[in-house]
Amino acid sequence: MENKTQKLENILKKLNIDGLFLTDMYNLRYFTGFTGTTGAALVTKEKKYFFSDFRYKKQATEQVTKMGFEFVESRTLVASAGEFMKKLGLKNVGFEDNNVSFALYQTIKENFSSELTPVGNELILQRMKKSEKEIEIIKKAIEISDIAFTEVLGIIKEGVSEKEIAAHLEYTQRKWGASDRSFDTIVASGLRSAMPHGVASDKKIQKDEFITMDFGAYYDGYVSDITRTVYYGQNITNRHREVYNTVLAGQLLGIKTIKAGMYTDEVDKTVRDFFESKNLGEYFGHGLGHGIGLEIHELPYLSKSQHLELEENMIVTVEPGLYFDGFGGARIEDDVVVTKNGCEVLNKSQKELIVIE
């Protein structure tokens, strides 16, 4: 708790503001402990308030008190926060410009007499380095996804639809304790595997094609994110093996490159250069990876457009892929935790090509 209080105080200081107004559910969960969906928080150096309605009174009081917040029951959260700001004489209050809708912004403008400062990435930057407890929870989410991958291999055969495969992955994750899937399950087979984000369709699995499965679990508020590509059929071509093994080599190179002190764009570039050296750069059209935590995509991004230093206990995905229109594609994704001298790969699922005959 002290740690998070300190993080909030650092933001107040850095932005030279005397209050912070939070409404984003992930930031609320992280900084106030509240796991519901309707709430708002006002943070000052002296006191911290959490606003929610009567439905959440008992739950919220228990959760936010532990984090040093006082529960205030209200049905008009923004108006109530505005009254507190006035009472406390706050001059300049930060708000979550990345997460506030235009409608909410207008309500804020109407109800706050303080000046408004956009906080930009300041809050989410504080969520990048995971605590030991967060790492344990994410490891559990990943373990659940690994089990689902192993189990789904048993149902893959001709005539099974991508949606059935997705349903099996999602059901297995729930069976093993996940509260939900962490994003729309991607199952892309055959020519569809050339689509990096091919959400599961009615297409049925046919002989001799790649099947890319990209999925994850929500567990205790945190996510996992894994991708595996398998081959179904007996007549695998050299080109399929080559594409797969090149993606795998790129993925292993990415993992080898990651360590505390490296920059996000450097890691992306190392893998991108590798594919370019094989004249395949144009087929790797997305970033190498992204942070995971309370959200499925969060800072830091391993991409050429982000220059952030990796630090110990950040958790990022490493997920290169190669996609060829009219042929298909492959992607392999693990979640890794950054360490002082490297990184620890958290997924245990096999990465050498699995051929299901």
Residues at the site binding Mn ion, with contacts judged by CB under 5 A: 225, 317
Query: CB 207 → Mn ion: shortest distance, Å?
Result: 29
Residue number, nearest CB to Mn ion? 225
Query: CB 289 → Mn ion: shortest distance, Å?
Result: 7
Query: CB 143 → Mn ion: shortest distance, Å?
Result: 17
CA distance 223 to 47: 31
Query: CB 294 → Mn ion: shortest distance, Å?
Result: 15
Query: CB 319 → Mn ion: shortest distance, Å?
Result: 5
Query: CB 329 → Mn ion: shortest distance, Å?
Result: 15
- SS3 at position 178: coil
**DSSP at 316:** E
Of 278, 257, 260, 259, the C-alpha closest to 268 is 257
Query: CB 114 → Mn ion: shortest distance, Å?
Result: 38
User: How is the chain split among helix, strand and coil, in percent rounded to 5?
Assistant: 40, 25, 35
**Residue pair 227/289 in contact by the 8 Å Cβ criterion:** no
Of 300, 324, 302, 325, the C-alpha closest to 313 is 300
Q: Is 22 exposed, middle or buried (0-12, 13-18, 19+ CB in 10 A)?
A: buried
Across the beta sheet with 334-338, what order do the strands follow?
298-302, 289-291, 315-318, 334-338, 343-345
Distant-in-sequence, close-in-space partners of 115: CB < 8 Å, separation ≥ 6: 91, 92, 93
Query: CB 5 → Mn ion: shortest distance, Å?
Result: 32
Tell me whether residue 225 or residue 295 sits nearer to Mn ion (CB atom). Answer: 225
Tell me whether residue 74 or residue 173 sits nearer to Mn ion (CB atom). Answer: 173
For residue 146, count other CB atoms closer than 10 A to its CB: 20
Tell me whether residue 77 or residue 302 sits nearer to Mn ion (CB atom). Answer: 302
Instruction: Tell me the DSSP string of 282-296.
Output: GG--S-SEEE-SSSS
Query: CB 75 → Mn ion: shortest distance, Å?
Result: 38
Tell me whether residue 225 or residue 265 sits nearer to Mn ion (CB atom). Answer: 225
Distant-in-sequence, close-in-space partners of 106: CB < 8 Å, separation ≥ 6: none
CA distance 228 to 349: 8
Instruction: Tell me how far CA of residue 115 lies from CA of 2, 91, 219, in angstroms.
Output: 28, 6, 38
Tell me whether residue 8 or residue 166 sits nearer to Mn ion (CB atom). Answer: 166
Instruction: Tell me how far CA of residue 156 lies from CA of 17, 58, 208, 289, in angstroms.
Output: 56, 46, 12, 27
CA distance 313 to 184: 27
**DSSP at 161:** B
Query: CB 216 → Mn ion: shortest distance, Å?
Result: 8
